[in-house]
Every structure is written in structure tokens, then in C-alpha cells.
């Protein structure tokens, strides 16, 4: 048996819903947030009399519409990085960063709807949250690869070193 065939026969670690419920709650909350953004765009359509399928018109409507579109454009990236971080690293830091992302997305949407320049700080903070999630996911995936290929759990090794009695 070759090393590759032995590697492919290693059973995958099972994932329990108990180890992912926090991220599930946060993901559901993010879905409700997007629904709220859609409702606010609908209200802006009525307020500024911009009826579908039009997406141009009063600047107030365009800002609100663009804020929603940007949130939708980032949503797949947010979900992928959140779930990968939760599965391959740990659900708690993934959920904390995801909550931070959601709060900053709300700030972004509200700020952008009022003034295009006010969107910058909350936008950058959402990018930092996604970068943090991507880093956790990459670290977790790297740890799994090393564990599968070399038999070493790097994260456990780091934890053991950190918790050594002095």
C-alpha cells in the first residue's frame, strides 16, 4: 500500500452540531440582517420613488442600494471564511469575529445610507474581520494538513508550550 492510499483511507474526524452551534446562530443572524437591508432598500425605493427594475435615481436611494449590494457581494466571502474558521480552527473565535463583522456591516450600511464618505471606517473594519476569519481558517487547515501528513498537531503543541508551568 502506498503512502497516498494509506492517507486516503484515514477516516475523517466527525463534526458534531454541538461544536458548531454558535456559528449557526451567527449565520442565521446575518441572514436576518440581509433581509433587513433588503427591507430598507424597499423603503428607500418608496421614499425616493425609484421603482423596480430601476437602480438609479436620487442619491439617497443610490447610496442605500449600493450599501446593500456591497453587503451582498461580501456575504459569500463572510460565510465561507466563518464556516471554515469554525470547522478547522474553533467555533468561538470564528463566532466572535463574525459577530464583529455583523455589527460593523450594520454600521457600514447605516453610514453609507447617510453619507458615502462615512462608510470607510466600518467598511475597513469588516475587511479586517474577514481577514481574521481567513487567517483562522488557514491556520486550522494548515494544522489539519500537518496532522494528516506528519502526525503532529501544531495547535496542540503551541497550547502545550504556552501552558507549561514556569
d(CA 70, CA 105): 10
Q: Give the SS3 label for residue 79.
A: helix
User: How many domains does the structure of the chain reveal?
Assistant: 1
Tell me if 4 is assigned to some domain. Answer: no
Tell me if 3 is assigned to some domain. Answer: no
Q: Is 51 left (phi over 0), alpha (psi -120 to 50) or beta?
A: beta
* CATH code at position 56: 1.20.120.550
C-beta separation of 65 from 44 below 8 A? yes
Tell me if 13 is assigned to some domain. Answer: no
Tell me if 135 is assigned to some domain. Answer: yes
Tell me if 58 is assigned to some domain. Answer: yes
Whole-number pLDDT of residue 13: 62
Tell me if 56 is assigned to some domain. Answer: yes
Give the global pTM.
0.86
Q: Quote the cell numbers at residue 111.
A: 453610514
Tell me if 1 is assigned to some domain. Answer: no
* pLDDT string in tens for the chain (166-residue length): 454 444 444 445 677 888 899 999 999 999 999 999 999 999 999 999 999 999 999 999 999 999 999 999 999 999 999 999 999 999 999 999 999 999 999 999 999 999 999 999 999 999 999 999 999 999 999 999 998 999 888 878 887 888 877 6
d(CA 148, CA 142): 10
Instruction: Give the structural domain span for 68.
Output: 18-162
d(CA 159, CA 152): 13
Tell me if 82 is assigned to some domain. Answer: yes
- Minimal CA–CA distance to 75: which of 118, 121, 126? 126
Amino acid at each position: 500500500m502506498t503512502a497516498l492510499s494509506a492517507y486516503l483511507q484515514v477516516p475523517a474526524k466527525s463534526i458534531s452540531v454541538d461544536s458548531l452551534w454558535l456559528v449557526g446562530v451567527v449565520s442565521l443572524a446575518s441572514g436576518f440582517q440581509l433581509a433587513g437591508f433588503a427591507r430598507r432598500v424597499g423603503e428607500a425605493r418608496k421614499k425616493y420613488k425609484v421603482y423596480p427594475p430601476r437602480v438609479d435615481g436620487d442619491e439617497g436611494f443610490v447610496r442605500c442600494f449600493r450599501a446593500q449590494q456591497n453587503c451582498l457581494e461580501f456575504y459569500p466571502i463572510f460565510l465561507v471564511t466563518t464556516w471554515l474558521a469554525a470547522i478547522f480552527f474553533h467555533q468561538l473565535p470564528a463566532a466572535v469575529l463574525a459577530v464583529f463583522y455583523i455589527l460593523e456591516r450594520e454600521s457600514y450600511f447605516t453610514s453609507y445610507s447617510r453619507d458615502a464618505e462615512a462608510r470607510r471606517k466600518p467598511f475597513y473594519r469588516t475587511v479586517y474581520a474577514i481577514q481574521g476569519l481567513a487567517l483562522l481558517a488557514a491556520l486550522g487547515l494548515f494544522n489539519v494538513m500537518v496532522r494528516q501528513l506528519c502526525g503532529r498537531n501544531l495547535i496542540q503543541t503551541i497550547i502545550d508550550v504556552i501552558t507549561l508551568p514556569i
